[in-house]
Structure 1
Amino acid sequence: MVGTLINAAAICAGALLGTLLKKGIPQRVGDTVIQGLGLAVILIGAQMALQTRNPLIVIGSLALGGVVGAGLDIEGRLESLGKRIEARFGRPGESGMAYAFVTASLIFCVGAMAVMGAIEDGLTGNPKTLIAKAMLDGIAATIFASTMGIGVLFSAVPVLIYQGSITLAARFVGAGLSPWVVAELTATGGLLIVAIGLNLIKAARIKVGNLLPAIFIAAIITAVIEMTRQY
């Protein structure tokens, strides 16, 4: 839960700072900082990916996960859900605080980094991915609050509930997983984190949401291999 608490605190701090910056942050400054953090995210993901004991499991999981995710169009469904919720609360001129709250909440919650970071925190107790996300969200909250107002501050609440729930669930499930299963799950998730970093620096446009099933497939494949070795 430490990573989620830091994430929520960063959003609050960024939103409060943003309300004081009426002219906002120059785009070139924001872009440069986000690109720098994107490189850091790639490093974090690479470190996670190197935990694999069998790269073939990671490769197979990404391939199968991509087929499942693309078939279900997870990324498209998430984007569609966001648009429907956003439309429900209208435009900035109609309901400023509600619009700011919903828009910021969607941006901070709907994404692979929120899921992967929370799972990593729950399984390993290491919040490094969520800390990197906290820095990104803090910058974004500053920018959003400077244009949309104090409503952005309250988006920290759904982030706390959403990521916190995933972390607690991962901690509960992880207690019954072997170290090997956790290693392959973490390694597969690490490559998804690398993909997020590549998207942040605009080196690629990878639909990471469609690859999310890969982390669960990696756990299943590894568990099956472990069981077959016992017999």
Structure 2
Amino acid sequence: MPVGVTVNCLAVLTGGILGGWLGRYIPIKTTERMMGVLGLCSFSIGVLNLMKVESAPPVILAVLLGYFLGDLADLEKRIAWIFGKIFKKVPVGKSGLDMDAFVMAVVLFCASGFGIFGVLTEGLSGDSSVLLSKSFLDFFTALIFAVTMGMVIGLIAVPQYLIFLLLFVAARAVGGYLAQEEITAFVACGGILTMAAGLRVAQIKYIAIGNMVPALILVIPLSYWWRSLGF
């Protein structure tokens, strides 16, 4: 069993449950101020992941092309609609279920560069320290989100575990076939998504993070193509 993946998902589940339970005791103004700090932490993690890139052009191309395709497909609204249907009957917190914030939370927990890097690291080398570090951030992020949106935030741990487990298995299966350039490009691309999430969490700039998800699919083949050109 992947220790880091399990602990990270349990952190989201526990933070969501505690936040929903303690929500009545935590003032809204405190959660709003904490969101700025959490956004700063998320942005900083994204920067650290971006710095791991060995070749920036395929990453930039993947983000631009991925966002373009995602925006044409209106992917974020479709994600919001799907999760809205899934969680429509789930009790929420004192401010109701803000689907915009909920989708942001889903992307932040399930598709952040930090998390992906951690899963790949554990899958390839067995080192779970990255995901264990991420668990602290995710615990407090889930707690703050759950104060306003309720224990439904904790349920994000379910798709998160499935996604991370698939990535872990894939890393074990194909890790030996991926060059270091492809792995770092993937992590850097996720880092850009994490930076975008940080800006959005801190309410500095609204970016449709859900529309950027196709970039995570494109970045590895684009990185391979770029490397095959001799760059």
Task: Please give the TM-score of this superposition, normalised by the length of structure 1.
Answer: 0.77
Q: Distance in 1 between matches of 2:62 and 2:109?
A: 18
Matched, 1:115 2:111: yes
> What residue is the counterpart of 2:142 in the other structure?
137
Residues 85-105 of structure 1: CA deviation (Å, up to 9, x unaligned)? 234x2xxxxxxxx4349x69x
> What residue is the counterpart of 1:48 in the other structure?
49
Q: Secondary structure at the match of 2:33?
A: helix
Query: Which shows bigger deviation, 211-220 or 119-128?
Result: 119-128
1:198–1:178 CA distance, 2 compared to 1 (3 A)? same
> What residue is the counterpart of 2:175 in the other structure?
174
Residue 205 of structure 1 deviates from its aligned partner by 0.5
> What residue is the counterpart of 2:58 in the other structure?
57
Residue 53 of structure 1 deviates from its aligned partner by 1.8
Q: Distance in 1 between matches of 2:87 and 2:141?
A: 22
Select which of 8, 11, 19 maps to 2:10: 8
Give the CA RMSD over aligned residues. Answer: 3.1
1:122–1:142 CA distance, 2 compared to 1 (3 A)? same
Greater Rg over alpha carbons, structure = 1
- Count of aligned positions: 213
Contact 2:40 2:198 in 1 (8 A): yes
1:13–1:190 CA distance, 2 compared to 1 (3 A)? closer
After TM superposition, list the pairs within 5 Å mapping 1:65-214 onto structure 2.
65-87=66-88, 89=89, 98-100=90-92, 107=102, 110-116=106-112, 117-125=114-122, 126-127=130-131, 128-129=133-134, 131-145=136-150, 152=152, 155=155, 158-159=158-159, 161-172=161-172, 173-214=174-215
After TM superposition, list the pairs within 5 Å mapping 1:208-227 onto structure 2.
208-227=209-228
Residues 1-38 of structure 1: CA deviation (Å, up to 9, x unaligned)? 4155234235325524653x473310111111121011
Contact 1:3 1:131 in 2 (8 A): no
Q: Secondary structure at the match of 2:25?
A: coil
Residue 197 of structure 1 deviates from its aligned partner by 0.3
Q: Secondary structure at the match of 1:23?
A: helix
Structure 2 residue runs of 5 or longer lacking an equivalent are 123-129
1:209–1:4 CA distance, 2 compared to 1 (3 A)? farther
What is the identity, as a one-letter code, of the residue corresponding to 1:191? Answer: I
Contact 2:196 2:207 in 1 (8 A): yes
Residues 124-150 of structure 1: CA deviation (Å, up to 9, x unaligned)? 2322555423320123235555xxxxx
Q: Secondary structure at the match of 1:99?
A: coil
Residues 19-77 of structure 1: CA deviation (Å, up to 9, x unaligned)? 3x473310111111121011011111001111122222222111111122112222111
What is the identity, as a one-letter code, of the residue corresponding to 2:141? Answer: L
Q: Distance in 2 between matches of 1:171 and 1:138?
A: 30
1:229–1:45 CA distance, 2 compared to 1 (3 A)? same
- The share of aligned pairs that are identical, in percent, is 21
What is the identity, as a one-letter code, of the residue corresponding to 2:158? Answer: P
